[in-house]
Amino acid sequence: MNYLTLEDMELDGKRVLLRADYNVTYSDGKITDDKRIRETLPTIKYLLGKKCKIILMSHFNRPQDDLKKGKSMEEVRKKNTLKPVAARLSELLGKAVVFVDSCNPSSVPNAQVVLLENTRLCKQEEKNDEAYAKNLASLADVYVNDAFGCSHRAHASVHAVTKFLPSCAGFLMDKEIKELSSLFSPKKPFIAIIGGAKADKIGVIKSLLPKVDSIIIGGVLANTFLKSRGLDIKGSKFDEESLEFAKEYCNHEKIMLPEDFIVADRFAEDAESREAGLKDIPDGWRILDIDGKTIRKYKAKLMKAKTVLWAGPLGVFEFDKFATGTREVAEFLAESHAHTIVGGGDSSAAVDKFGLTEKMSHVSTGGGASLEFIEKQGKLPGIIALEESYHSHRQEGVSEILL
């Protein structure tokens, strides 16, 4: 992939338009997980060291959906504002971060670090509107994309803006691209663990099958595969959208499915639960975790792995009672010698819950973007835009920007 990074640019004293991914977790109006803010600090501090003026922008939630539901703009702005992010970033930097209450300003305050309001409050953002992107670009001399988690979206602040400024990848973006690209020519044996519930895993499985030695299946996706074999999963959740794919691949030699489970009478932390083989699940009960035999089987397969991709939990890890399978496999990988890459939002949340993030080789901040990156061999709109900018701006002779 040909794109510029921060270290390829002459940035001293420049105005930098920096796209971050501050789509953080909120609860009761407070940020409960600031990881995505902290992950951008290396890029921001590097730019501060270059005496840059930094104009930050990010999306948060889906405010346009709220507007379509009939909520007033005042309600939507209050619910989807990035103002608390500005406050938290200021604390982390030990430096004032000026918040601008607009996602499309004609000018910004003369401050070293500025954060614009949620880009998705402007409807032009998701339309990849070039006029909107051009106005954003007018605020700066250089564009830096450090928002890997948004790289799979052809939105104005990620894609169209690169047409109007010399553009490069921030440290986080560059790290994500390099780590995930390593999966295209991995050290063998290469094992993938694919779990969770969403149908977005199907494309990933298809792209991985020619490369992996085995794919371990868990979560709701495993239920779907089991049902596709004509087995009775009783009241267990499965994904209707993935069923036809599962029927085609359920007996593939590289696919590994669970054999025993922890089942419950309802989906709740305090549900009645028991161990069960597939034929022993009571009527109406549901599979919420894998059990001992399956955990041992999965660990035995992972023991020889040199590369592991983990995308999706193996059970309902959010409930401690049904987190054993996910936790034990996570702990096993944390102590292994394999290069372990964790992708997808739920997997990242799981290893974070178990305090194992720092013991993994790489935990992606990308959520769905990391899965699409793998499926599409890195050809995501935000990354393609950086590559096109690299070529077009070189041709236009912007040598004063490039080293």
Residues classed as catalytic = 36, 198, 345, 368
Cross-strand pairs, 346: none
User: What single letter denotes the amino acid at residue 186?
Assistant: P
Is residue 141 within 8 Å of residue 15, measured between CB atoms?
yes
Is residue 38 within 8 Å of residue 24, measured between CB atoms?
no
The residue among 68, 84, 75, 71 whose CA lies nearest residue 27 is: 84
Question: Would you give the DSSP letter of residue 402?
Answer: B
- Give CA–CA dist 67/271, Å, rounded: 37
CA dist list (Å): 382 to 40, 81, 161, 260: 17, 24, 10, 42
- Give CA–CA dist 190/213, Å, rounded: 5
Sign of the four-CA dihedral 329, 208, 196, 178: positive
Tokens of 140: 């700066």
Provide DSSP, 337-361.
SSEEEE-SHHHHHHHHHTT-GGGSS
In sequence order, what are the residues at sequence separation of 6 or more whose Cβ sits closer than 8 angstroms to the Cβ of residue 119? 57, 58, 59, 103, 125, 155, 156, 157
Is residue 218 within 8 Å of residue 325, measured between CB atoms?
yes
